[in-house]
C-alpha cells in the first residue's frame, strides 16, 4: 500500500539537497566551532555562512540571528526573557487565543508569576480585531506576541499593521513565524517586529534547529546558561550539522518558489472542495479559503464524523493527516484554536481534520486522498446512522 503524506504542518521531509549538505558537514567538518584550531575555525566558518543565509532570508543582520534548537526554544526565550527583563516597565502582555502551545504555555507561566496577559479573541476565520488590540494596549504593556500564521487553520494575521501600531509604543513585538516562513515574504523592518521565531523542520530542513531574530538593541540575559556561545546569548555547543542543513533548505526557497507553492496549495484546496461538493458530502471549512492565507494548511469539518475515527481510517488507507497541532496530538484536550473560533460547545472541535500540503504533494496525491476521504466519510456516516 502506498502512503501519502498530508501532515506537512507538523513536519516536512528533508530535501535531498539538505541531506547532502548535512552529510558533507558530518563527514568533513566535525570540529567544535568554539575551538581555536583549524577544525574549530572551519566549523565556525560554516556557522557564519549559514547565519548570513538565514539573516538575509528575513532582511536581518547576521548579529541579529540567535541560533536555537527550534521555534519552541525561540518562543520561550523571547517571551519569558522579555517579561522578566522589562517587568519594571510594566507587567502586561498581549497575545492571541490561537497561539501555538510554545507561546501559550509560557504565557500561562507568566500569569502564575503575577503578570497580566490579555488573550485577543478571534472570529470564525481565525482573525483578530485590530480594534481589540488597540483597546488592550496600555502604559503597562511590555510585550505583544502574535503569530504570523496559524498552524491549525492557516489564518494570516495582520503583522505589519500591528508593527505600525507599536512603532511608538514601549512594547516589544514578537511573532511566531514558524508556519509562515518559507511561504510568505518576510522583511523584519517592513513588518516592524522586534523578535521573530522560526524552525527548520517546517521548510524541509532538519529537526532540532531554528533561530530567534532579535533586533539590535534588545538586551536580555540568556535563557540557557552554561557557556559563551552565540555571542554569549545562548549556551551550548552549536548544532553545526543542523545549522548547515537549515541554511541549505533556505537556499532552495526563492520569492517565486513561495508564490508558486501558495498558488499550488490554494488550487489543492479548491480541488478538494469541488470534489466533495460533487460527491454530495456535507462539510465545511474551518477558517477561510483565500489567497493570502497560509494555503498549505486546510482544516475541514465533517458533521457527525469523529476526528479520531476519520483520522484512523485515513491512516489505515495510507493517508497521513492530523486532528490539529502535532505538539498536542497526545492530549485529550480539544483544539484551543477551534474552541476560540467557534466556542467550547461547537461540534467542529471533535469532528474536524487538518490536511497540510508540502512541496512534494501532487495533484494525483490530492485526487487519491479525496477519493478515499469521500468513501470513508460516507461509510462512517452510514455506520453511525444504523
Which SS3 state, helix, strand or coil, does residue 234 take? coil
Q: Match 485515513 to its residue by C-alpha cell.
A: 314
Question: How many CB atoms are located within 10 Å of the residue 372 CB?
Answer: 17
Whether 99 is catalytic:
no
Pairing of strands 352-356, 297-301: antiparallel
Contacts of 140 by beta carbon, 8 Å cutoff, 6+ apart:
89, 90, 91, 92, 116
Question: From the candidates 130, 184, 327, 374, which is the catalytic residue?
Answer: 327
162: part of which helix (H) or strand (E)? helix 159-166
Residue 183 CA to residue 178 CA, distance in Å, equals 10
- Helix, strand, coil fractions of the chain, as percent rounded to 5: 45, 15, 40
267: part of which helix (H) or strand (E)? helix 255-278
Q: Match 533561530 to its residue by C-alpha cell.
A: 211
- Cell readout for 247 is 541554511
Say if CB 22 and CB 16 are below 8 A apart.
no
Give me the active site residues, please: 327
Amino acid at each position: 500500500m502506498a502512503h501519502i503524506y498530508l501532515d506537512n504542518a507538523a513536519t516536512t521531509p528533508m530535501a535531498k539537497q539538505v541531506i547532502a549538505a548535512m552529510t558533507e558537514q558530518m563527514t568533513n567538518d566535525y570540529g567544535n566551532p568554539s575551538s581555536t584550531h583549524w577544525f574549530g575555525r572551519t566549523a565556525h566558518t560554516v556557522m557564519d555562512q549559514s547565519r548570513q543565509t538565514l539573516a538575509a532570508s528575513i532582511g536581518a543582520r547576521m548579529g541579529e540571528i540567535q541560533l536555537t534548537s527550534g521555534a519552541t526554544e525561540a518562543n520561550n526565550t523571547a517571551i519569558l526573557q522579555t517579561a522578566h527583563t522589562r517587568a519594571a516597565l510594566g507587567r502586561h502582555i498581549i497575545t492571541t487565543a490561537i497561539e501555538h502551545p510554545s507561546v501559550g504555555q509560557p504565557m500561562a507561566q507568566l500569569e502564575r508569576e503575577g503578570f497580566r496577559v490579555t488573550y485577543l479573541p478571534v472570529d470564525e476565520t481565525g482573525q483578530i480585531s485590530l480594534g481589540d488590540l488597540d483597546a488592550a494596549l496600555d502604559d503597562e504593556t511590555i510585550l505583544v506576541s502574535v503569530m504570523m500564521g496559524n498552524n491549525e487553520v492557516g489564518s494570516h494575521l495582520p503583522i505589519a499593521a500591528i508593527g505600525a501600531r507599536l512603532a511608538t509604543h514601549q512594547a516589544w513585538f514578537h511573532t511566531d513565524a514558524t508556519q509562515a516562513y518559507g511561504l510568505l515574504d518576510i522583511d523584519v523592518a517592513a513588518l516592524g517586529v522586534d523578535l521573530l521565531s522560526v524552525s527548520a523542520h517546517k521548510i524541509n530542513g532538519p529537526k532540532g534547529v531554528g533561530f530567534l531574530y532579535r533586533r539590535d538593541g534588545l538586551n536580555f540575559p540568556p535563557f540557557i546558561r552554561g557557556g559563551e556561545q552565540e555571542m554569549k546569548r545562548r549556551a551550548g555547543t552549536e548544532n553545526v550539522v543542523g545549522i548547515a542543513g537549515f541554511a541549505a533548505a533556505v537556499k532552495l526557497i526563492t520569492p517565486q518558489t513561495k508564490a508558486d507553492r501558495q498558488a499550488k496549495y490554494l488550487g489543492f484546496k479548491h480541488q478538494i472542495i469541488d470534489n466533495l461538493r460533487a460527491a454530495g458530502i456535507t462539510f465545511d471549512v474551518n477558517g477561510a479559503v483565500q489567497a493570502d492565507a497560509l494555503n498549505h494548511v486546510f482544516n475541514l469539518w465533517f458533521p457527525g464524523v469523529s476526528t479520531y475515527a476519520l483520522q484512523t481510517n485515513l491512516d489505515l488507507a495510507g493517508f497521513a493527516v492530523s486532528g490539529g497541532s502535532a505538539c498536542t496530538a497526545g492530549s485529550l484536550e480539544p483544539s484551543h484554536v477551534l474552541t476560540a473560533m467557534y466556542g467550547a460547545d461547537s461540534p467542529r472541535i471533535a469532528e474536524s481534520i487538518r490536511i497540510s500540503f508540502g512541496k512534494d504533494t501532487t495533484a494525483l496525491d490530492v485526487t487519491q486522498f479525496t477519493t478515499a476521504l469521500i468513501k470513508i466519510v460516507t461509510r462512517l456516516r452510514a455506520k453511525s446512522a444504523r
